[in-house]
Every structure is written in structure tokens, then in C-alpha cells.
Amino acid sequence: MKICVWVVTVLLLSACSRFEPHPDWVQAPSQEALAATLSGEALLGRPVQVDELPEVDLFELTPAMKAMAEELASIHHSPHARAQALHRALLGSPMQGGMGIQYSAYVTGTAAEAFMDREVNCLSFTALYVAMARHMGLNARVNDVKLPPNWDLRDDGSVTVFRHVNAKVMVRGRDTLVVDLEMGQYSPAYQQELISDQRAEAQFYNNRAMELLSAGELEPSFLHLRKAVQLDPAASYAWNNLGNLYHRQQLYPEAEAAFLEGLRLEPDNLSLISNLNHLYQRMGEVAKADYFEQRAREYREGNPYYLYALAREALEKGDANGAYEFIQRSLKKEGEEPRFYRLAERIYQSQGHGDKAAAMAERARASEQQMFL
């Protein structure tokens, strides 16, 4: 792995088309409905008290972490050298003096837990790196990266929107070191922003909540989600997950309030739109369900990544002509995504158009050079 320096973002991927506002009947939930949702009483049989919510220090340093950071700082003096040295020390092979920390998608730990367990996802690694970098005197921040949506058409047509964070270290002037678990897959083209420690902690509690829910631990999951929205009330993803938790328990009024609050915060969130469609179907609210189903369809058909998924599926089924139509529509909407050009290359190859395939390969290489560090 390597650390790369970049100064300015050269492009921003536009993942969806212009979004028309919802009609007036799509209202934000009442304060009473929100209060009932946040109380947890319908779910747990009692209202939750604030002092019941979990409390952890995401960036806490253990003595061993401090000692390692101080040793590295004593050897490496410039901000750039310190940032790189810490990156190597955490992720480098034990054969080369590193800790050999490994990636695990479903383990969200604090900085201290990540250091001890040596298993991280992007959030726990970023917390670990930022905490130790700051102890070394570096100006390190958590950077929230919005990745393009991913559709799985072979399953149920569901869409997955991944959340990703990495670290940024401001070294001098406007120069910024980006520190990511997988530098080869990071791009400054993705929409991103530096976030506060509190917003990063909200993501931590949200992730933990979903892990607990997967393990069947309903009450701890709710308490972690409640903590997430307390720390970051504007986190639409946390409201969405809170709505899903209630929906699973067939507590529809509370689920509706959570989903609508998330939609108020992010009106073009496809996951919330789809969840409201499914919820209103369950509630027998046919007109409302039909509206949100239509909005989800409009979103998909206007999204270049959905068209890309359709093109990929068509090619896998041997329909090169259909794949060509879909990928051309994708490229018209988003002409900077190298994956689109790579798929176009494969489509042309399947059609026997070698020259056009070579041209698409060249466009893909040019786009990759611009998009990826």
C-alpha cells in the first residue's frame, strides 16, 4: 500500500439525475411521532432514558498506542514522513516491522480495539490512524467519502450504497495526504468532505447497531442507533436504519416517522424512497406505495450506475446489442467513470469491433489516470 498526495479534486462524479421535489402530501413527521420513535417504548415496552445510551471514546489511546506513536515521532520529523511511517507501521507486514493489521468488513471497533485486535474496517482503521497521528503532532481528520451505488440485479434488484471513510493529514499549505486502507481504489473524484469527530462517532454507533441487529440483539441495536441520531441528527442513514429496525418488528408508525425524517434530510435518498414504498405496501396505503415505487423507478432509470448494471447483466446473458444500448446511455450521463469504458470495451469485443474496443480501452486508461491516485 502507498500514501498519495493530492491538492485539488479534478472532477466530481454525478451519480444521479436532477431530482424533482416530493409533493406537499409527503410531510415531515410530527414532533410527537418523532418523540415516540426515539423513546423506544413501542419496541422495548418502556421509554429509554438518555443515561442508558452507550458511551465509548472512538479515538481513545492506550499506553501501547501512545508509546508506538511517540517512538515513530522521535524517528521521523516532517509531517509527511510521520504520516507515511505511521501508515507503514500499522498496515505493513510483521516481517517488515509492521503490525500487519488486516481488513474485516464486519468489524467496527474503536481505535483501541482496532489496535489490539488487528482487524479493521475503514471506519475503525481511520479512527486508529487519526488518533495516533494526532498524538504524533499531525493535523489529521476523518474524511467521509460517498461511493457510487451498486446494484445487484441477479439477486432482487437491490441497491447497496456503501459508506466509506479515510483519513486526511494536512501537511503544509493546501497539501493533503490521503490515507486509505486500499489506496488503489480511492479516488478524489468521489464526493467527499471532512467531518467532525462527533459525526464520525455517529457512524461508529450506526455500524455497531447494524452488527448487533444482525446478531439478533434488538435492544442494544436500538440504543446504538438512538445514540447515532443523538450525535448527528442530520444523519439520514441512521434514521433509515432506525426505520428498518422498527419495520422488522412490524411497528409501522414508528418506522414511517423514522423514514420520513430521513427523507426530509435527504429527499433523493433511494434507500429511503424504496423503504417507504415497501412500508406503505405493508400498511395498505396503496396510493402512497405507488408514488414511492414510481419515484424509485425514475431514480433508477436516470442513474448511470443502474444503467451500467443493466448493461453488465445483458452482456452476461449474451445480449451484446442490449448491453451496448445501456452502456451508451450510462456514458452520456457520466463520461468520467472508467468502469463504463471497460465494459464498453468488452461489449465491442463481443461484437467483433476490435478498433472500437481498443478506443474504449484507451478512454478507460485516460479516465483511470485522472480519477485514481
The listed range with the strongest mean pLDDT (7-11, 79-83, 184-188, 222-226) is 222-226
Q: Are 48 and 39 in contact (CB under 8 A)?
A: yes
Q: Please give the average per-residue pLDDT across 270-288, as a whole number.
A: 96
Burial state string for 104-113 with b = 16 or more CB within 10 A and e = fewer than 16: eeebbbbbbb
Task: Tell me what pLDDT residue 296 has.
Answer: 92
Q: Looking at the domain that runs over 304-371, which CATH code has it been given? A: 1.25.40.10
pLDDT band at 3 (very low <50, low <70, confident <90, very high): very low
| Least reliable range by pLDDT among 35-39, 42-46, 84-88, 186-190 | 186-190
Q: What pLDDT shows up at residue 133?
A: 98
Tell me, what DSSP letter sits at residue 101?
-
How many C-beta neighbours within 10 Å does residue 39 have? 16
Residues 6 or more apart in contact with residue 269 via CB below 8 angstroms: 236, 240, 262, 263
**Full DSSP string of 245-311:** HHHHTT-HHHHHHHHHHHHHH-TT-HHHHHHHHHHHHHHT-HHHHHHHHHHHHHHHHT-HHHHHHHH
Q: Please give the grid coordinates belonging to residue 323.
A: 448491453
Whole-angstrom CA distances from 180 to 23, 333, 363 are 41, 28, 26
Long-range contacts (CB closer than 8 Å, 24 or more residues apart) made by 360-367: 364/338, 365/338, 367/336, 367/337, 367/338, 367/341
Closest by CA position to 170, among listed 291, 80, 45: 80
Residues 246, 36: contact at Cβ < 8 Å?
no
Mean pLDDT of the chain: 90
**In this predicted structure, what is the pLDDT of residue 18?**
61
Distance between CA 185 and CA 161 in Å, rounded? 16
Best CATH choice for the domain 63-200 from the list 3.10.620.30, 3.20.10.10, 3.40.1160.10, 3.40.50.1950: 3.10.620.30
Q: In this model, does residue 289 exceed pLDDT 70?
A: yes
- Total length of the chain: 373
Rounded distance between C-alpha atoms, residue 238 and residue 241, angstroms: 5
Which of 47-56, 240-249, 334-343, 349-358 bottoms out in mean pLDDT, i.e. has the lowest? Answer: 334-343
Res. 16: pLDDT tops 60: no
**Higher confidence at residue 183 or residue 167?**
167
Instruction: Read off the pLDDT band of 370 (50, 70, 90).
Output: confident
Ranges for all domains in the chain classified under CATH 1.25.40.10: 31-50+218-301, 304-371
Instruction: Encode pLDDT of 125-134 as tens digits.
Output: 999 999 999 9
Checking if the pLDDT of 4 tops 60, the result is no
Q: What are phi and psi of 142, to 5 degrees?
A: -85, 130
Report whether 100 contacts 93 (CB < 8 A): yes
CA 319 vs. chain centroid, Å, equals: 32
**Which pLDDT tens digit goes with each residue over 206-217?**
999 999 999 999
Query: Residue 54 pLDDT > 70, yes or no?
Result: yes
Query: CB within 8 A of 295, min separation 6: which ones?
Result: 22, 273
Looking at residue 211, what is its pLDDT?
Answer: 94
In this structure, are residues 179 and 87 in contact, taking their beta carbons and an 8 Å threshold? yes
Write down the pLDDT at residue 300: 87
Q: Which of 208, 205, 60 is nearest to 134 (CA)?
A: 60
177, 129 contact by CB (below 8 A): no
For the segment 303-344, what is each residue's pLDDT rounded down to a tens digit?
A: 899 999 999 999 999 999 999 999 999 999 988 889 999 999
Using the predicted structure, report yes or no on whether residue 193 has a pLDDT greater than 80. yes
CATH superfamily of 31-50+218-301: Tetratricopeptide repeat domain (1.25.40.10)
pLDDT tens-digit readout, 220-237? 999 999 999 999 999 999
What's the sign of the alpha-carbon dihedral 356, 362, 367, 372? positive
Of 6-10, 154-158, 159-163, give the lowest mean pLDDT range: 6-10
pLDDT of residue 146: 87
Q: Count other C-beta atoms under 10 Å from residue 196's C-beta.
A: 12
* Portions of the chain given CATH number 3.10.620.30: 63-200
